[in-house]
Amino acid sequence: MERNNHLRRQVANLRQSLFDQGYLDDQFIELEELQDDVNPNFVEEIVTLFYKDSARLIHSIDQALEKQPLDFTKLDNYMHQFKGSSSSIGAKKVKIECTQFSEYWRAGNVEGCKRTFQQLKREYVVLRKKLEVYFQYARQAGPTETASCRPN
């Protein structure tokens, strides 16, 4: 159907822009390659788990940053978890902020940590919105071939 082809093109463009704009990296493609007819929504399921984990971690880090004195071990653990899960789904910009946070933490730069965390939350929100739109369109368009093109 012409309409469906048009929709599929939109989905493909949406997907490509996520890579082009640096929101996602190769790991996302690795996950896509794990999808099949029996598990057609695997990536979305994993990403949904990521949202759940992220919400919990953001809340924990927010609270931890309010405490005096700061519990650096806890903060480091939370951020390690956040970096891990964002790496596992290919959330490139979020992962970069996690790395930046760790660098400020190692340098003992509390203000840097707090600033970076605000940026991290912003990146997370943007990514989540974009992915939600993408998956919504993808579901409408129906199953497609796994993309073979790699991002630049």
Check: CB of residue 134 under 8 Å from CB of residue 14: yes
Indicate whether 33 belongs to the interface with other proteins (CB under 8 A).
Answer: yes
Nearer to other proteins, 88 or 119 (CB): 88
Residue 24, classed as helix, strand or coil, is strand
Nearer to other proteins, 81 or 119 (CB): 81
Q: Which residue has the tokens 């996520």?
A: 18
Q: CB 64: neighbour CB atoms within 10 A? A: 19
Q: At a CB cut-off of 8 Å and minimum separation 6, what does 11 contact?
A: 134, 137, 138, 141, 144
Q: Tell which one of 85, 92, 97, 131 touches other proteins (CB under 8 A).
A: 85
Site map for other proteins, 122-151, x if CB under 8 A?
-----------------------xx-----
Please state whether the peptide bond connecting residue 69 to the residue before it is cis, i.e. omega within 30 degrees of 0: yes
Indicate whether 77 belongs to the interface with other proteins (CB under 8 A).
Answer: yes
Q: Tell which one of 7, 10, 53, 96 touches other proteins (CB under 8 A).
A: 53
> Which residues on neighbouring strands pair with residue 91, listed in sequence order?
24
* DSSP code string of 137-150: HHHHH---PPP-PP
Indicate whether 113 belongs to the interface with other proteins (CB under 8 A).
Answer: no
Nearer to other proteins, 32 or 132 (CB): 32
Indicate whether 34 belongs to the interface with other proteins (CB under 8 A).
Answer: yes
For residues 72 and 105, give the distance between their C-alpha atoms in angstroms, rounded to a whole number.
Answer: 8
Chain positions contacting other proteins, by CB under 8 A: 27, 30-39, 42, 45-46, 49-50, 52-53, 77, 80-81, 83-85, 87-89, 145-146
